């Protein structure tokens, strides 16, 4: 059941479901997209999340109860069957089992569920994979939907576009690390992330992205006009690369010539929900055509 709550004088929080699912995330996208398009006087900001969203408003211009009534109407009238999403498919190169995240995760084994295993080994075991290679293959075999941006600027929360029973999951560390390398690739719950900058963190660490997702100076082509690359609704395909290709990409980044491989796509939630395997295959075919 949807939960509507006041957040002080200027915010309304709406929780569409307690559990994350692609269907609920598409619903949050559809509602917030329509709300933005209506340009209701008094609404200052709309922040969609995984299974919820938040609206900041000016109480002098719109009463919170009137706003909640409007949000309830949108929930009842908007159907994801009529929702069409235009976004990007993105090739995201990742070096798995790299030396930098390995050094970081080994430094904090006392904070982990299994101090005697690496994060990849632990996650492979609890998800029933025979090896870390099999886990990597499963994670790179189907694309991920960027369901929200947050925690720190530009960090993408990504949910794999596979049936629920095939979702790979892992708990966060028992206690957070005080250091995580920039561009570290990890998993917490059912969400993968790329850490934009060095900092603390508690997700299981598997590797490191070759290209940045945050760039303060906006030097690269993909960062013109913005410091962050990911956008909600993007479809990320994590691609395992060798150390040689990783180093080559890092050189392009340093020289300012790197560009993400992207392709535009327009799709409906129905395409994803009814046959996620066929949709994933179509994404991979079109992205690398």
How is domain 86-287 classified at the CATH fold level? Cyclophilin (2.40.100)
**The predicted structure's pLDDT at residue 73:** 96
Give the containing element (helix H, strand E) for 277: helix 276-287
pLDDT class for 22, splitting at 50, 70, 90? very high
Average pLDDT for residues 174-179, to the nearest whole number?
97
Least-confidence region, from 107-111, 136-140, 161-165: 161-165
% of the chain exceeding 90 in pLDDT: 93
What is the rounded CA–CA span in Å between residue 61 and residue 115? 55
| Model confidence at 188: pLDDT above 90 | yes
| Number of Cβ atoms within 10 Å of the Cβ of 132 | 20
What is the rounded CA–CA span in Å between residue 247 and residue 99? 13
**The predicted structure's pLDDT at residue 51:** 94
Burial class, 144, CB count within 10 angstroms (exposed 0-12 / middle 13-18 / buried 19+): buried
- CATH dotted code for 3-80: 3.30.1360.40
Average pLDDT for residues 253-261, to the nearest whole number?
97
Task: List all residues 6 or more positions away from 107 whose beta carbon is below 8 Å from its beta carbon.
Answer: 177, 179
| Model confidence at 240: pLDDT above 90 | yes
**The predicted structure's pLDDT at residue 228:** 94
Q: Which residues belong to CATH 3.30.1360.40 in the chain?
A: 3-80
Let me know how many helices (H) and strands (E) the chain has, helices first. 8, 14
pLDDT class for 59, splitting at 50, 70, 90? very high
Put simply, whether the predicted model's pTM sits higher than 0.85 gets the answer yes
| Model confidence at 82: pLDDT above 90 | no
**The predicted structure's pLDDT at residue 217:** 87
Task: List all residues 6 or more positions away from 283 whose beta carbon is below 8 Å from its beta carbon.
Answer: 89, 143, 161, 235, 237, 265
pLDDT class for 221, splitting at 50, 70, 90? very high
Q: Which residues belong to CATH 2.40.100.10 in the chain?
A: 86-287
| The total number of residues written for the chain in this structure | 289
What is the rounded CA–CA span in Å between residue 64 and residue 208? 44
pLDDT class for 153, splitting at 50, 70, 90? confident
Averaged pLDDT of the chain: 95
**The predicted structure's pLDDT at residue 280:** 94
Half-sphere exposure of 239 (CA within 13 A, CB side): 18
Phi, psi of 208 (to 5 degrees): -140, 135
């Amino acid at each position: 059941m949807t939960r509507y709550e006041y957040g002080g004088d200027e915010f309304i929080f709406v929780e569409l479901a307690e559990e994350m699912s692609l269907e609920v995330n598409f619903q949050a996208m559809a509602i917030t997209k329509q709300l933005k398009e209506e340009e209701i006087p008094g609404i200052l900001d709309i922040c969609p999340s995984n299974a919820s969203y938040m609206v900041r408003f000016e109480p002098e211009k719109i009463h919170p109860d009137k706003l909640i009534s409007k949000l309830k109407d949108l929930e009842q009238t908007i159907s994801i069957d009529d929702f069409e999403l235009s976004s990007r498919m993105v090739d995201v190169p990742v070096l798995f089992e790299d030396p930098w995240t390995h050094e970081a995760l080994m430094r904090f084994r006392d904070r982990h569920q299994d101090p005697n295993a690496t994060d990849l080994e632990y996650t492979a075991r609890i998800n029933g994979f025979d090896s870390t290679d099999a886990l990597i293959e499963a994670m790179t075999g189907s694309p991920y939907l960027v369901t929200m941006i947050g925690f720190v600027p530009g960090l993408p929360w990504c949910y794999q576009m596979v049936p629920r029973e095939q979702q790979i999951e892992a708990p966060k560390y028992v206690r957070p690390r005080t250091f995580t390398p920039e561009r570290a690739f990890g998993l917490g719950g059912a969400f993968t992330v790329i850490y934009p900058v060095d900092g603390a963190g508690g997700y299981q660490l598997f590797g490191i992205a070759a290209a940045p997702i945050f760039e303060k100076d906006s030097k690269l082509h993909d960062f013109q006009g913005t410091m962050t690359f990911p956008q909600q609704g993007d479809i990320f395909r994590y691609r395992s690369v060798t150390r040689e290709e990783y180093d080559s990409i890092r050189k392009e980044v340093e020289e300012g010539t790197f560009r993400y491989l992207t392709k535009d796509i327009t799709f409906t939630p129905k395409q994803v929900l009814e046959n996620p395997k066929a949709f994933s295959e179509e994404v991979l075919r079109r992205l690398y055509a």
